[in-house]
Chain A
Amino acid sequence: GESVGLHLPTLSVQEGDNSIINCAYSNSASDYFIWYKQESGKGPQFIIDIRSNMDKRQGQRVTVLLNKTVKHLSLQIAATQPGDSAVYFCAENLPPSKIIFGSGTRLSIRP
């Protein structure tokens, strides 16, 4: 069925290093993909999205890469900071409006 999954459930990164969070998806019909950040006890916050006709998009300290050949999505966070500690979810939109989430990766930052 439709699914969005993640390769790594937890990721520990040294402060100042770059973080890479990966995601696999299974539905070729998805027209865009989104990364969300969720802090404990709160609702997810939008980070960045990418349309299916793109392979790279950059934001402030974040870059999302999309490889449709292998159905893989990644989020790169540059110069990781303590405030980046959270659970990160990828999600895909199945047209017209069905947004499906993956299982999440917890990012922890080592001082």
Chain B
Amino acid sequence: DGGITQSPKYLFRKEGQNVTLSCEQNLNHDAMYWYRQDPGQGLRLIYYSQIVNDFQKGDIAEGYSVSREKKESFPLTVTSAQKNPTAFYLCASRKGTEAFFGQGTRLTVV
């Protein structure tokens, strides 16, 4: 089935460690996005990519990094510089006006 896959669903890391969240899509979409969602809050844009080998910072990019070496993949690295990394992370790809979301990765840093 076509779709967007985030893995893993739950992730635990020790404070000070970098961690990479996976996002893969087989929808042939050019644009991809990463959002962060805190409990009871909306989605805040971390990074987005309109096309392979190109990406732009969103509103809360500090402490995060991304790459877009392949159309299908848009991994997000949460670095040790991110002050409060525990959150629900959502990846999306877009066709036209519709964004398709993965099921999210819940990251807990202890």
Contact = CB atoms under 8 A, between A and B. Distances in A.
Binding site of A, secondary structure by majority: helix, strand, loop or mixed?
A: strand
Contact of B103 (A42, A49, A96): A42
Interface residues of A, number: 24
Nearest to B49: A97
B66 interface: no
What size tier do the contact residues of chain B reach? 20 to 34
Binding site of B, secondary structure by majority: helix, strand, loop or mixed?
A: strand
B102 interface: yes
A32 B104 CA distance: 25
Interface string B83-110: 0000000101010011111111000000
A99 B94 contact: yes
A97 B100 contact: no
Nearest to A32: B97
B33 interface: yes
B50 A96 contact: yes
Nearest to A96: B50
Interface of A: 1-2, 32, 34, 41-46, 49, 51, 89, 91, 93, 96-104
